[in-house]
Structure 1
Amino acid sequence: MVLVDWDHTMINVPELAKSIDFFANEGVIFKLGGQHENWGTANALGYFGINYIELINVFDQQKANLIDHDIATAVYDAVQDFNQERQRFNTIALRTNDLENVRERLELAGIGVGPILEGKRRNEQNKLITWRIFFINDDIDGLPYPFFIDWQTSDQDREQQLIEQELIQTHPIGALKVVKAVFEVNNPLKVSQQWANLIDRVATEEHGEFIVPIGERTLEFVAGPANHLISLHFSGANHQQTINLGEAQLVFD
């Protein structure tokens, strides 16, 4: 069976260290992840079970400015926001165990897909982390598509590795889990149906909001002009709290 699940969410930030400290003050733990040498980008990671947030910025401007939009769309977008000193959500990554199958299905559906790439970075312990990935170079009414990633291991094994590395842990604010992403778009019916087709799900409407289920979580599409991911919602917090990082809003219930 082909797995498709929500792997992580990207936030474009100007400074990793400053963002890590910002979240630490709010009770949410992020740790430096490492550098993507081929792209000139670097990241910090905050885990909520196997699902996580990636804070991404640029460490090598010359390399980063060479990224081709149609090859690595989300990374290209991260570089553009870095150049403009803009903090906001980028897009989400979808985890699969069969990149070739998913990519072929999307290509047959007329969606512009990039090549499958071999990703790598070295973490703070100098361990090489590898994955396979492809990006989608289309958008829907200006909303960036997600991209697909394969860690080449089972979810169970990967979760155990992350626990052993002390990356999955309870945050000071609570045992957090990501439960929902909210996208503000001009045409939520159209976009939700497109995203549902993308991940082989069915979109439903609830009180004017269009919902696409994905594993234990949901993607919600609401009417508005942003054409972007605007908020991420969590369960398990010790108290209700909303954190705003630039244009990105994180809601803890």
Structure 2
Amino acid sequence: MDLRFDHLIHAVSDPERARHAFADRFGWHTVAGGEHPGFATYNALAYFGLPYIEWVGVRKPEVAAERPFGRDVLRVLRAGEGPMQFAVRTNDIVGMADRWSRAGLVHEGPIEASRVRPDGVTLRWRMLFPAQEPGKLLLPFVIEWPAPDEVRLADLRQSGLSPDPAAAPRLRAVHAVVGDLARLRRSMDAYFPGVLEPCESSEQGRGVRWTCGEVTVFVWEPAEGALRRVLDTVGERPFLAEFERTAGVRTRTAADAARRLEAAGAPVHGLWVVTSE
């Protein structure tokens, strides 16, 4: 199963204000996005090569409430701004949907979507949503872009949307917290079999990781300490983005993740960010 981390979705009340806040705090190259007419949402973005962070807001709540994705953004925003979900990229979304159907797995899609970039280029993609537990977004959704990765990356750099790779930090890891890791593993193993590996346990808790292309996704069930406070405060969701200017993810245990969280300082619009050389 060739799946790669595509992007982290960060629900915010005002994507433009959010992108400028991250640019001011971390020096990121951020760009305006566009409208998602099919979902009544709109966005702004920061690319780190092909992986990116998407700040998404709701344009028309009454319409978004009736649409997939739009209603999820609304629900997250009612609890406060913050990361809500991540997406993984495939080049065979129809085949994946067929496999889920044959296995009797409930899903929605593939759904066609599009938006117009500020430079007038129309982007198109397809999305596939696994069934989630009520009120939760613990599983990633799947996205397929029509162009190969190398073509998309060249276009992003040529258009100025993605910065010079020598000057930009690399998104190396995304961390999430859950209350019941075993339950999450059962759902993940159904939709995405074989992708999770156990992490070393520590007094801070236990976790799993998904090496998803150049980005590793960690999911922790915290027992105590800083990660437990995050779970108690913001609930089950992604919370920390880890950047490095050199290759290699150093986090191995929940205690490591807690130290990274403490090094991050205050969150920005509900997302903690840590960068190391």
Structure 2 length-normalised TM:
0.79
Matching residue of 2:88: 94
Matching residue of 2:55: 55
**Structure-2 change in CA distance of 1:88 and 1:171 (3 Å):** farther
Match of 1:204 among 194, 197, 201: 197
Contact 1:43 1:54 in 2 (8 A): yes
Cα distance in structure 2, aligned partners of 1:45 and 1:181: 16
CA RMSD in angstroms, aligned pairs only:
2.5
Cα distance in structure 2, aligned partners of 1:118 and 1:127: 17
User: What amino acid sits opposite 2:244 in the alignment?
Assistant: S
Matching residue of 2:112: 118
Cα distance in structure 1, aligned partners of 2:221 and 2:135: 12
Q: Identity rate of aligned residues, in percent?
A: 21
Q: Which has the higher strand share?
A: 1
Matching residue of 2:225: none
User: What amino acid sits opposite 1:215 in the alignment?
Assistant: G
Match of 1:181 among 174, 177, 201: 174
Matching residue of 2:239: 230
Residue 132 of structure 1, CA deviation? 1.3
Unmatched tracts of structure 1, length 5 or more: none
- Report the more deviating stretch, 5-14 or 131-140: 131-140
Residue 202 of structure 1, CA deviation? 3.9
Cα distance in structure 2, aligned partners of 1:205 and 1:140: 26
Matching residue of 2:145: 151
Contact 1:140 1:191 in 2 (8 A): no
Offset from partner CA, 1:30-52 (integer Å, 9 cap, x none) = 21110011221100010001000
Is 2:129 the counterpart of 1:135? yes
- Which stretches of structure 1, 4 residues or more, deviate above 4 A after TM superposition? 240-243
Residue 140 of structure 1, CA deviation? 8.9
Offset from partner CA, 1:163-196 (integer Å, 9 cap, x none) = 1111110499x52111112121122244246435
Aligned residues: 243
Matching residue of 2:70: 75
Contact 2:58 2:70 in 1 (8 A): no
Is 2:71 the counterpart of 1:66? no
User: What amino acid sits opposite 2:268 in the alignment?
Assistant: L
User: What amino acid sits opposite 1:8 in the alignment?
Assistant: H
Cα distance in structure 2, aligned partners of 1:250 and 1:109: 38
Unmatched tracts of structure 2, length 5 or more: 202-206, 223-230, 247-262
User: What amino acid sits opposite 2:175 in the alignment?
Assistant: V
Structure 1 length-normalised TM:
0.86
Q: Which has the higher helix share?
A: 2
Residue 144 of structure 1, CA deviation? 2.7
Cα distance in structure 2, aligned partners of 1:211 and 1:137: 21
Residue 216 of structure 1, CA deviation? 2.4
Cα distance in structure 2, aligned partners of 1:205 and 1:163: 36
User: What amino acid sits opposite 1:148 in the alignment?
Assistant: V
Cα distance in structure 2, aligned partners of 1:236 and 1:197: 35
Contact 1:139 1:145 in 2 (8 A): no
- Report the more deviating stretch, 147-156 or 124-133: 124-133
